[in-house]
């Protein structure tokens, strides 16, 4: 297929964090991985090249130069996009000229279906196709973003975000539909997902349950206006009907002989938030066994919950839990054997380099999370339960009575006890353009860099809010929901400080916003006043004008605007 002109337009949204590579020695190193590509393969990424260095990589997975390599990058020093495979049955490649651009965000994707047909896409449109071969199923230990396994090849120079790897061949319609949407990480066939939007530290987090977090070497965090929006609330974000985890309880004919040890099976993690109410095993003998639910955060394992120790019968066993175990999506299923093993398992001697399909063991007699060995096995163990939201515990604070907090024309925060008292500068104020108060007493503000920050009190330090995007104004609803104005003058909302922004329909073009009802604080009821009129309606200021001093106040008594040079102000309702 010959290349056609591709002029697909992309929607630009808020400024977000991306990973910037200098083209000299910057890259991300990913853990070893053994992924089954027998049903297909897809790799996607958003890239913005600064230059085309010789054979620079978007991704390079393999065991060295020409050793089971999967390569996506530019061809030579050109702007051609190429997918190159080095398989046991030979070398295979597909290339599309003029697919990449300098200084412009471009979505690229490469797929191979079960028949071996390879395809390249630019901004969701097919630009090249050719018969190839699927990657071999084996352990790849040298896996990089932005770096080649060939010592003489160049490094990627530019910015990158939303790197995705699938073990299915995604059709053109799905690539185009979801390329500008953040993913959840639990989509069918998604085996690696690195948004590259953390904005700090040197870890590139894998949002799939495989947890193959990458180590950032030299690359730095930057900000860019991206054609990416929040997670699409369609099938991508659909909640599971029931909670499941583990594998189908089947007879395999093998059981462990080691005694007094723990193991965790990471083949199929728990699929959602909720509670586990029961578990099933296929037992080869009657040795006792206990269910353990594990959680992995960064490099630390912890025990979420345990069942009672059960003595199974030979064959299928269905156990219920006296007390359900609260779980999160991505938690793992494990077991404890006081004596020899009883659960039937399927043994495959091929080693794995990551968690997928892998079982981690402890030594006999050690603690539950002291894993010292691993093998590739599938255990006849499954769990089931009910879907539900895991509540977030919020410690109740004392009264959040700050009086009045304002943002001066010098962008510093200041406070006054009453409307008639003097302003006092707040310590460690920083430089801000908007400020609001959360129901739990925390202060949330928009910095002059258009990022969102929070602080626990007037005397604490600011902390940047994850995935803050680029905002110019923020307010807080009574239930804690945040409403903000993006740098593109559109309205957005987020359920909490830790959730993602969602576009508000029919938002119009806005430069500021406030809430019509104040948050409910644990402060005494206000003393009645003869002057009870309040500015209490939602306020939108159009980009063509409007008086900030008169319309950007929150819950101020009528005609009592302070006479200082303030841009923004709110008053505690207490």
The answer to whether 295 touches 331, Cβ cutoff 8 Å, is yes
In this predicted model, what pLDDT tens digit does every residue of 392-423 receive, in sequence order?
A: 333 333 334 556 777 877 777 777 777 777 77
pLDDT at 267: 74
Mean residue pLDDT across the chain: 79
- DSSP assignment of 211-259, as one string? --PEEEES-EEEEEE-S-BS--TTTTTPPPSEEEEE------S------
In this predicted model, what pLDDT tens digit does every residue of 87-116 receive, in sequence order?
A: 999 999 999 999 999 989 999 999 999 999
Question: From CA 34, how far away is CA 30, in angstroms rounded?
Answer: 12
In this predicted model, what pLDDT tens digit does every residue of 232-242 receive, in sequence order?
A: 433 333 455 67
Q: How many domains is the chain partitioned into structurally?
A: 3
Angle at 269 between CA 285 and CA 342, to 5 degrees: 5
Are 552 and 428 in a shared domain?
yes
Query: Does 139 score more than 70 pLDDT?
Result: yes
Are 32 and 170 in a shared domain?
yes
Question: From CA 505, how far away is CA 528, in angstroms rounded?
Answer: 38
The answer to whether 365 touches 315, Cβ cutoff 8 Å, is no
Are 64 and 203 in a shared domain?
yes
pTM flag (> 0.75) = no
pLDDT at 551: 38
Are 377 and 435 in a shared domain?
no
Query: Does 167 score more than 80 pLDDT?
Result: yes
Query: Does 528 score more than 50 pLDDT?
Result: no
Q: Which region among 262-266, 297-301, 566-570 has the lowest average model confidence (pLDDT)?
A: 566-570
pLDDT at 401: 53
Are 220 and 260 in a shared domain?
no
Domain ranges, residue 461 = 392-574
Are 116 and 147 in a shared domain?
yes
In this predicted model, what pLDDT tens digit does every residue of 142-154 receive, in sequence order?
A: 999 999 999 999 9
Are 214 and 265 in a shared domain?
no
pLDDT at 217: 96
pLDDT at 10: 35
Q: Percent of the chain at pLDDT above 70?
A: 79
- Tell me which of 341 and 567 has the higher pLDDT: 341
Residue at a domain's end among 342, 366, 387: 387
pLDDT at 231: 53
């Amino acid at each position: 297929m010959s290349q056609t002109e591709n002029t697909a337009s992309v929607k630009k949204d808020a400024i977000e964090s991306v990973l910037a590579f200098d083209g000299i020695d910057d890259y991300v190193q990913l853990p070893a991985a053994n992924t089954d590509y027998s049903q297909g393969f897809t790799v996607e990424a958003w890239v913005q090249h600064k230059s085309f260095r010789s054979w620079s990589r978007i991704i390079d997975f393999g065991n060295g130069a020409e050793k089971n390599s999967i390569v996506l990058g530019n061809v030579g020093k050109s702007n051609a996009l190429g997918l190159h495979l080095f398989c046991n049955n030979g070398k295979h490649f597909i290339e599309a000229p003029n697919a990449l651009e300098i200084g412009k965000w471009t979505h690229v994707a490469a797929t191979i279906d079960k028949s071996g047909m390879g395809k390249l896409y630019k901004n969701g449109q097919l630009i090249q196709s050719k018969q190839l071969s699927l990657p071999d199923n084996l352990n790849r230990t040298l896996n990089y973003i932005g770096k080649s396994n060939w010592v003489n090849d160049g490094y990627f120079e530019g910015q990158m975000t939303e790197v995705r790897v699938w073990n299915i061949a995604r059709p053109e319609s799905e690539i185009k539909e979801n390329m500008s949407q953040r993913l959840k990480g639990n989509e069918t066939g998604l085996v690696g997902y690195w948004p590259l939007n953390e904005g700090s530290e040197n870890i590139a987090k894998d949002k799939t349950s495989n947890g193959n977090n990458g180590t950032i070497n030299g690359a730095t965090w930057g900000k860019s206006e991206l054609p990416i929006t929040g997670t699409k609330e369609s099938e991508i974000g659909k909640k599971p009907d029931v909670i499941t985890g583990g594998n189908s309880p089947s007879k395999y004919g093998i059981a462990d002989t080691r005694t007094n040890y723990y193991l965790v099976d990471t083949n199929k993690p728990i699929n959602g938030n909720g509670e586990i109410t029961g578990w099933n095993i296929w037992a080869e003998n009657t040795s006792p066994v206990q269910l353990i639910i594990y959680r992995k955060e960064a490099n630390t394992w912890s025990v979420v919950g345990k069942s009672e120790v059960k003595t199974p019968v030979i064959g299928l066993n269905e156990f219920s839990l006296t007390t359900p175990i609260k779980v999160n999506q991505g938690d793992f299923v494990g077991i404890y054997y006081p004596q020899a093993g009883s659960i039937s398992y399927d043994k495959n001697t091929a080693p794995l380099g990551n968690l997928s399909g892998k079982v981690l063991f402890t030594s006999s007699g050690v603690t539950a999370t002291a894993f010292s060995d691993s093998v590739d096995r599938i255990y006849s163990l499954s769990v089931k339960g009910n879907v539900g939201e895991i509540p977030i515990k919020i410690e109740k604070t004392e009264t959040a009575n700050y009086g009045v907090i304002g943002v001066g024309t010098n962008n510093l925060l200041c406070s006054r006890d009453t409307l008639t008292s003097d302003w006092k500068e707040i310590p460690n104020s920083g430089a801000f353009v908007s400020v609001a108060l959360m129901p739990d007493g925390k202060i949330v503000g928009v910095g002059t860099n258009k990022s969102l920050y929070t602080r626990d009190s007037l005397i604490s330090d600011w902390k940047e809010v994850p995935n803050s995007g680029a905002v110019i104004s923020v307010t807080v609803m009574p239930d804690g929901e945040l409403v903000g104005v993006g740098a593109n003058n559109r309205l957005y909302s987020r359920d909490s400080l830790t959730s993602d922004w969602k576009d508000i329909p029919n938002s119009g073009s806005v430069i500021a916003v406030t809430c019509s009802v104040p948050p409910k604080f644990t402060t005494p009821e206000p003393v009645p006043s003869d002057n009870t009129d309040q500015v209490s309606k939602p306020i939108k200021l159009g980009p063509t004008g409007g008086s900030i001093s008169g319309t950007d106040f929150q819950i101020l008594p009528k005609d009592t605007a302070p006479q200082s040079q303030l841009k923004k102000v709110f008053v505690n309702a207490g």
